[in-house]
Structure 1
Amino acid sequence: MISSATIPTSESANHCKGFVPSFQASEPLKLFNSTYVEAGGLNISLTGQVNQFPFCRVYAQVAYGNNDTLNFEVWLPDAGSYNKRLMAVGNGGMAGVIDTWNLMLQLNSGFAVAGGDSGHLASLNNNGSGAPDVYLPYLHDPDQVKAWIHDSIAIFMPHAKALVAKYYAATPSHAYYYGCSTGGAQAFALAQYHPELFDGIVAGCPGNWYSHLALSFLWNAQRTQNGSYLDQPTLDFITSAVLDHCDSLDGIPDRVLENPLDCTFDITSLTCPPSSSSNPANVTTCLTPSQLAAAKAIYNGPGASIYPGFSLGSETQLAMQEGPLSNAFTVPILQNLVYYDLTYDATTFDWSEDITDVDEKAGRWIDEISPDLSEFRRRGGKMIVFQGWADPYNAAVWPIQHLHQIQSAIGGKQRDVSDFFNLFMIPGGGHCGAASSYPQVPATYHTIPQLITWVEQGRKPESIKSTDPPDGSNRSRKLCPWPQTAMWDMSGDVEDAESWRCV
């Protein structure tokens, strides 16, 4: 419902239309135009989201590097709806487009919002999708590669702040950032290398060890070929067996694992009897030796020094690990960025020798894994990281491992970093939201209100509420700062987050 109080006035519309000429932009900034959008006037087709109140949409571009440009937009709500804060949003995947979905989401919460295309165009790079043997120009441009994850938000953010300050004749009281997946990697780049830009940061399902995340895609693809392939019924069968064994650990039979690391299920118990030479066609009752080896390879991952494996209970969506993700990310990165050879055959990748090539030619540009966030901490910055246990892209334990690295770099114990950095693991959570195998799990994570309270009032989040499960129920849950997990209080409504406590 769009409130009548948000009906646009001619004064605000005129202010918007005259804004670009009045700003007098100079190099490297170029302003194209500003358009006034009435309440309900912009529909984000992917989700049907509309703007709940009027805003001024500013189209801009900033030059960087060696003749490269980054396109970005700033959305400025009418003064009566503006919460006096600026929110920047990140990108997903190989980027190349502005994330208008998240811009709209944050605009409707009252923020002035800004987002960019990460310094290259998806339209010039196979529409933002990687594929084997396809030339991706941005991966051949060092400035564009560095901008993609490492610098793109920092390239446009000072200009976005200036635009907001000019439009409202006052600087925003605070600046925040929200990003998930690649945007989560960009979040870590900001905390590491641009700590002055944001007061608070949310990093969701972060792909900040991007080059090694891509290697894990290749690892899993190579180990699930031919007779080792785990088809969808087999993956569902494994998840069901895991839940049968471990669902009761949290005291609630809800078909969700609160903490998969507590589950001691031995997948070997699913092995086909010795008399079975193969798994019967179209019947999933056990795992062949080849399938068992493949599943164990996915759980173990390519090795602690390369990338961790996946967790129990995450199996249902892992079919994308059996080739699609490697073809979309790993092979293009190896062919375009590491070896500059579109004929490179990824099946020849040497796991003992070629990791160094990836680290030197890709990792130094696209990985954001320094555990030293001391400057961000010193400046008073706060960071919330969230990660779904059933994420089919990222190994869920990677953010836990990275948390331990940050602890070691800064203080050695969680209480030493929880004053500025908190990780929230999401039982049954997917990649940046719902996991299709867990439709009963609330998939909206209310991180931003908690971050604002932390930054502006000094109260760190003791929990984060999650709501809106895909199954349409009114279920809510409490997400806890790691290593705590949520437990039912044994008396309240099990479907209400208030009946759960972090222990």
Structure 2
Amino acid sequence: MKVQSIAAGFGAHKMRLMAVTTALAASATASVASTGECNVAGIPSFPDMSVISADAVSEPAAYCRVIGRIGTETEFELLLPDEWNGKFIMGGSGGFAGNFDNMANDAFNVVTDGWATVSTDTGHKGSNIVASWALNNLERQVSFGFQAVHRTAVTSKAIIADFYGTESQRNIFLGCSRGGGQAMMVAQRSPDVFDGIYAGAPAYSWTKEMAGRWTHDAQIMYPDPNQITTPVIDADALAILGGGIMEHCDALDGLKDGILNDPRQCDFDVASLTCGEGETNQCLSPEQVAAAKAIHGEAEFGGISWPGTPMGVELPGNPLGWLIWISGGYVEGAEMDFHPGSEQSAFEEPPIPNATWGFATQMMKYFFYNDPDWTYEGYDFSDYAHHAERLSSSVDADNPDLSEFRANGGKLILDNGWMDGSLTAYGTINYYESVLALDPTARDDVRLFVRPGVTHCSGGPGPDGTNYIAALEEWLDTGVAPDQLDAPFVDPRTRQPDGRGGRIICAHPSVVTYDGSGDPNSPESFRCEVP
């Protein structure tokens, strides 16, 4: 297998590196200057890997930008700072990838702090909401699923060791959405590559959630796949739905602030919004009520089930809630910014009414059925399970056994926003609880944080400024697992504190709990409490 061959190719190189006497200074702030030169000849190449370009960059920090190719077509972008802090961080991408999106550098600008950092296109180029590249191409499907990230990581670590004359002393993976699924995949399949891993809003079940559940939801919101302009629950109905839920449940946590600290406490009956005889305003039709209940509820399809979307995500003002992910409506020429930090795609995108509709139909066309003309019209999931089983081993990161990663000293933080309209927090909770069901001691090395008021990866009315890199580093340094973390309110553009203070987030199963009288923008007014 190619992964094994390239790893073997690094063996002799690693033995040579072990003889290098240069050691990193004990101080965390010590830096290492490069011993290599920033040009193609100065960057080492390895079996089945080549350097495409290497260019010196001066802003926002001085670093060497390396573009390389592994195997047939897996490309990566590796940033090597002139003053290296001795650490390596890999950033995950969004959607179907196809570019060099790097959450670590996009969100935290890690290269300015001296981190060497890498990202990969996962073996293809294209818009991150298009999967036509996967048509009848098993190599690309496997590269996307897990192989590209693994090979990029081990290749990058080898380049770093050669370029600086010593191996990285800390290795972290940071990803959200598809990157969160990549993070879970490396914890399960590459357990000795990274010390600390952050998996935010993880897209870890492509067959069950993104193909199955989202196709189910597409059939509910757009029963006719040829009519994608107006959803069953349009913007007016969505405002009524979201308003009714917030009116009933917003103050349950002690604060009327547009945030449900724990949506599981919300017992709102959507049927109470049903229009009465002759009533047409500020109410929902029976079809809209049924659709809302189906989106909120557990869905069964093809012999499996998947949880629904938490209440509290519906408000039209939620930038990454129902309007982008679940309801929406196709508008010609409109661009859909569904993943924070993603570069604007230069590739053509298909007409889609919302992001889950887009991902589901792309998965079905190009992974499940290898048929660009496939639609869900009349689709009954009768052969869904067969195709899901065939694909799952390549694209799903749902194995709860993290024993090897933990045995290597690894620490994993899982995260989801309660207001995420795409990857339901209930699905992430279910995975985490399956890890603990297999081995209750896993909580020593794996923690889950479900963030109130936070949408997909970031944004929303809740405080979403938690620095997960710092949290992982502290955990790795001290060995003390975090029970709670600071959560500042931040500017969504700069990710810097915006002056409003902050709150806390709590390790599951604890819930952020207000003290009833303190400043709602102060962490001291909140505690973590198990329901």
TM range (shorter): 0.7 to 0.9
**In structure 2, which of residues 146, 157, 167 is the aligned counterpart of residue 161 of structure 1?**
157
Rounded Cα–Cα distance in structure 2 between residues aligned with 1:117 and 1:74: 12
CA deviations over 1:121-171 (Å, ceiling 9, x no partner): 11xxxx3433xxxx8133421111011132221011111111212222221
Q: Which amino acid aligns with 2:76?
A: F
Q: 8 Å contact 1:228–1:293 — kept in the other structure?
A: no
TM superposition shift of 1:477: 1.8
Matched, 1:254 2:250: no
Give how far 1:256 is off.
Answer: 0.7
1:479: Cα distance to partner? Answer: 0.8
1:461: how far off? 1.1
1:297 aligns with 2:294: yes
- The Cα RMSD (Å) is 2.3
Distance (Å, rounded) in 1 between the aligned partners of 2:417 and 2:484: 15
Unaligned runs of 5+ in 2: 1-31, 224-229, 316-320, 328-352, 493-497
Structure 1 residue 368, shift from structure 2 partner = 1.0
Matched, 1:434 2:455: no
- Structure 1 residue 490: Cα displacement: 4.4
Give a deviation string over 1:36-74, Cα, whole Å, max 9, x none. Answer: 211xx3xxxxxxxxx2x21121221111xxxx2211121
* Alignment match, 1:367: 396
Partner residue of 1:72? Answer: 76
Residue 421 (str. 1) matches residue 425 (str. 2): no
Partners of 1:468 and 1:486 lie apart in 2 by: 15
> Higher helix fraction: Structure 1 or Structure 2?
1
Mapped partners of 1:310, 1:204: distance in 2: 17
Structure 2 vs 1, CA of residues 245 and 491 (structure 1 numbering), >3 Å: closer, same or farther? closer
Q: Deviations over 1:434-455 (max 9, x none)?
A: 13xx3xx223231111111111
Query: Does the CA-based 8 Å contact 1:182-1:207 persist in structure 2?
Result: yes
What amino acid sits opposite 2:204 in the alignment? N
2:285 to 281, 285, 288: 288
Amino acid at match of 1:26: F
Higher mean displacement: 372-381 or 196-205: 372-381
Q: Between the two structures, name the one with larger relative contact order (CA 8 Å, sep ≥ 6).
A: 2
Check 1:424–1:475 CA distance in 2 against 1; reply closer, same or farther (3 A cut).
same
Provide the rounded CA distance (Å) in 2 between the counterparts of 1:153 and 1:101: 14
1:498 counterpart = 2:524:
yes
Change in 2 beyond 3 A, CA 1:24/1:449: closer
Distance 1:330 1:171 in 2: 41
CA 1:108 to 1:233, structure 2 compared with 1: closer, same or farther past 3 Å? farther
Deviations 1:310-358 (A, max 9, x none): 111012321332452354212222122212222223122213x222133
Q: Distance in 2 between matches of 1:90 and 1:239?
A: 32
* Counterpart residue number, 1:179: 175
The range that moved more, 23-32 or 395-404, is 23-32
| Aligned CA distance change for structure 1 residues 129 and 251 (closer, same or farther; 3 Å) | closer
Which amino acid in the other structure matches residue 528 of structure 2?
C
Moved more, 320-329 or 476-485: 320-329
1:394 to 395, 400, 423: 423
Could you tell me which residue of structure 1 aligns to residue 3 of structure 2?
Answer: none
Instruction: Tell me the amino acid that sits aligned with residue 45 of structure 2.
Output: A
Residue 202 of structure 2 corresponds to residue 206 of structure 1 = yes
Q: 1:454 aligns with which of 475, 486, 501?
A: 475
- The Cα of 1:237 is off from its aligned counterpart by 2.0
- Is the contact made by 2:253 and 2:513 (CA closer than 8 Å) also made in structure 1? yes
Match of 1:358 in 2: 387
Q: How far is the alpha carbon of 1:91 from its aligned partner?
A: 1.4
Q: What is residue 412 of structure 2 aligned with on the other side?
A: 383
Residues 1:98 and 1:450: Cα distance change in structure 2 (over 3 Å): same
TM-score (ref. length: structure 2): 0.80
Decide whether the 8 Å contact of 1:216 with 1:301 is kept in 2. no
- CA distance in structure 2 between the aligned counterparts of 1:451 and 1:14, rounded to whole angstroms: 29
- Tell me how far 1:103 sits from its aligned partner: 2.6
Task: Supply the distance in 2 between the matched residues of 1:343 and 1:477 (Cα, whole angstroms).
Answer: 49
* 1:98 correspondence with 2:106: no
Alpha-carbon separation, structure 1, partners of 2:188 and 2:522: 37
Of the structure 1 ranges 447-456 and 326-335, higher mean CA displacement relative to structure 2 is found in 326-335
Matched to 1:146, the amino acid is: V
Gaps of 5+ in 1: 1-10, 42-50
Q: Identify the range of structure 1 (470-479 vs 421-430) with the bigger mean alpha-carbon deviation.
A: 470-479
Tell me whether 292-301 or 245-254 shows the greater mean CA deviation.
245-254
Indicate conservation of the 8 Å contact 2:92/2:102, yes or no: no
Query: Structure 1 CA distance, aligned partners of 2:519 and 2:165?
Result: 48
Note if contact 2:88-2:115 (Cα within 8 Å) is conserved in structure 1.
Answer: yes
Deviation at 1:106, TM superposition (A): 2.3
Rounded to whole Å, the distance in 1 between the matches of 2:101 and 2:252 is 39
TM-score if structure 1 supplies the norm length? Answer: 0.84
Following superposition, the deviation at residue 24 of structure 1 comes to 4.0
Pick the aligned partner of 2:354 from 311, 314, 324: 324
Query: Deviation of residue 97 (structure 1)?
Result: 0.5
Offset at residue 181 of structure 1 (A): 0.7
User: After the TM superposition, which residues 14-163 of structure 1 pair with which residues of structure 2 at under 5 Å, given as runs?
Assistant: 16-18=37-39, 20-38=40-58, 41=59, 51=60, 53-63=61-71, 68-79=72-83, 82-100=84-102, 102-104=104-106, 105-122=109-126, 127-130=127-130, 136-163=132-159
Question: Does the CA contact (< 8 Å) of 1:229 and 1:294 recur in 2?
Answer: yes
User: Which residue of structure 2 lines up, in the alignment, with residue 306 of structure 1?
Assistant: 305
Residues 310, 326 of structure 1: alpha-carbon distance in 2 compared, 3 angstrom cutoff: closer
Q: Secondary structure at the match of 2:444?
A: coil
Displacement of 1:120 after TM fit?
1.3
- Tell me, in whole angstroms, the C-alpha distance in 2 between the residues paired with 1:178 and 1:384: 10
Counterpart residue number, 2:270: 267
Letter in 2 for 1:259: D
**Alpha-carbon separation, structure 1, partners of 2:397 and 2:465:** 26
Structure 1 range deviating more: 457-466 or 421-430? 457-466
Q: Deviation of residue 119 (structure 1)?
A: 1.3
Instruction: Work out the CA distance in 2 between the residues paired with 1:337 and 1:228.
Output: 26
Distance 1:434 1:326, change over 3 A: closer
Number of residues paired by the alignment?
Answer: 451
